[in-house]
Chains A and B, each alone.
Chain A
Amino acid sequence: MAADAAGARRTPWMLLSPSLATISLLLIVPMLFIVVYSFWLRTATGADQVGFYFDNWIEVLGDRFYRDILFQTLLIAFYTTVICALVGYIPAYFVANTRMKSKAFLLLLLMLPFWISYIIRTMSWINILGTSGALNTLFLSMGIIDDPIQMLYNQQTVVLGLVHYLLPFMILNVYVSLDGIDKNLTEAAKSLGCTGFQAFREVTLPLSMPGLAAGSLLCFVLAAGTYITPIVLGGPRDAMFANLVFEAIVTQLNWPLGSALSLVLLALLGALVVIYTRYLGIDQIAKSFK
């Protein structure tokens, strides 16, 4: 019996060990490694000077250039999140409350963007907003404009692309929250004299906050970590922080500097995740997988 009990205690660890080994070796150790690496120096000859230098950190934290782009990144992520929350709440509310038979179909449609490639969805805006895109063709044929106008390659189109990419995350998270609300609560509020809008403001909105918060966290973190959208839809001045990381690592091959840059990004976004899990728990995000 004792051997059995010991065996049963070992079983979960045996099942977990391949995953834990993978995550430790390919994620945890590499993360610790770049912390160390960020204190090394890349010399002019291209070799790394092992040691404990603060040069990369002084450059990353002290240079205005990096600070401005960091600020711009957070601003873009903030705009994206706010727009996603405002725009995404409505369809989530509709799908959660509709009595139509098509509810399942509407939900399926919401899942669909997750299956459509991110790069395709991003580049699809070139077909809409580009100089020979749908809008310019339409305006030209209607005689509203005489020459195609360039609507692409600015900060607004970067935000647009990100909203288009991240909106389903927001809608789904808010939907999960809204769907879990007992409909009797709003009915009760109304029977106690609330107007429809008051019932929404006092009952539904507060109860949907966990979903709104989870969606916002996802949108913000994913938006702030992107470098593809600014390259495809942004202009030369719309670089985001992850673009700097990519430049440092892949183009300039300055790995110690790239390590420091990615750690700044991690610290900022990681802090958000930690604050969020402290107050709301990570389970809320896992809910949308069910």
Chain B
Amino acid sequence: MMSGWSVIRIATILVYLFLFAPVAVVILLAFNANQFGSFPIEGFSLRWFEALWNNDAIVRAFKTSLLLGLLTAAISTTLGTLAALAMVRYDFPGKRTISTLLVAPILIPEVVLAVALLLFLQFLSMPKSFGLLLMGHVVFTLPFVVLVVQARLVSIRRDVEEAAMSLGATPVQTFFEVTLPLMLPAVMAGMLFAFTISFDDITGTLFWKPGGVETVPTQIFAMLRNSISPEINALGAVMVIFTIALPLVAASIARVMAMRKTGTTK
């Protein structure tokens, strides 16, 4: 008889397969030469990637997503880092309420958040626009940045800052010379998180986007609804590679930076 542990191990492998097999199939089909881009596999081809590259709508969607993601990450990380600093470094009355308020955008279903923001801005006679998309994405990603930065900030010791101040640095100098370099990995992590969430968002984006503007996810969604075009797997593959490569590259940059830093202090 099999031991309980090996049953658990096999079940775990099956769950991992369940999580990754469908995505692996997307990537597999993206390289399939078959003229409908579906099964059976008929050989290796890059034709679907070429088709993607030549599809103006998709290239435009990609640019929109990229711009939106970068702007969201920049704004959200700036706001979120400041808030996280306040939450970790200071005690003040009403801290619990503030902490709930900061994560409120996660606690509210995204659909409701999307409706509220859309209708409020329409009431103020602001039309659907890229600006609305950006505002929505900032609100929606802000709590994630606050949580991620807060979690890492706790481990930065206060004494280093106090040492700098006792050596005559002003609070502003201390922040830029000591605190910011130390919390850079946390800030980068928050930024990456915000970018990926924004780049991937569809629930809110479908409400907020003006007609004619598509992001990559809404473009995929539109392609799914019209007719399943074979390019879709290639687009999926690009997106998977993009969103997985990004954190890996960021992680290795962080490692190189950390190594260089310890190298100079030696």
Chain A contact residues, CB within 8 Å of chain B: 8-9, 11-13, 15-16, 18-20, 22-23, 26-31, 33-34, 37, 87-88, 90-91, 93-95, 106, 109, 112-121, 123-128, 130, 132-134, 136-137, 141, 164, 167-168, 171, 196-197, 221, 224-228, 231-232, 242, 245-246, 249-250, 255, 258-259, 262-263, 265-266, 269-270, 273, 282, 286, 289-290
Contact = CB atoms under 8 A, between A and B. Distances in A.
B74 interface: no
A98 to B, nearest CB: 8
Interface residues of B, number: 87
A123 B25 contact: no
Given A19-B82, A113-B19, A262-B112, A132 B38 contact: yes
A149 B239 CA distance: 30
Contacts of A116: 23, 240, 243-244
A218 to B, nearest CB: 10
B117 interface: yes
A31 B40 contact: no
Main secondary structure of the interface of B (DSSP, over half): helix
B12 A94 contact: yes
A142 B107 CA distance: 48
Contacts of A15: 82-83, 85-86, 90
Interface in B8-46: 8-9, 11-12, 15-16, 18-23, 25-26, 29, 36, 38-40
Given A27-B116, A120-B236, A289-B148, A134 B25 contact: yes
Contacts of A87: 15, 18
Contacts of B244: 112, 115-116
- For the residues of A in contact with B, the DSSP-based class is helix
Nearest to A135: B39
A221 B111 CA distance: 11
Interface of B: 4, 8-9, 11-12, 15-16, 18-23, 25-26, 29, 36, 38-40, 78-80, 82-83, 85-87, 89-90, 92, 98, 100-105, 107-113, 115-123, 135-136, 138-139, 142, 144, 146-148, 151, 196, 199-200, 202-203, 206-207, 216-217, 220-221, 224-225, 228, 232-233, 236, 239-240, 243-244, 246-247
Q: Closest 9 CB pairs between A and B?
A: A225-B109, A30-B120, A124-B22, A15-B86, A12-B90, A30-B116, A137-B39, A12-B86, A19-B83
B142 A225 contact: no
A115 B244 CA distance: 6
A36 to B, nearest CB: 10
B111 A128 contact: no
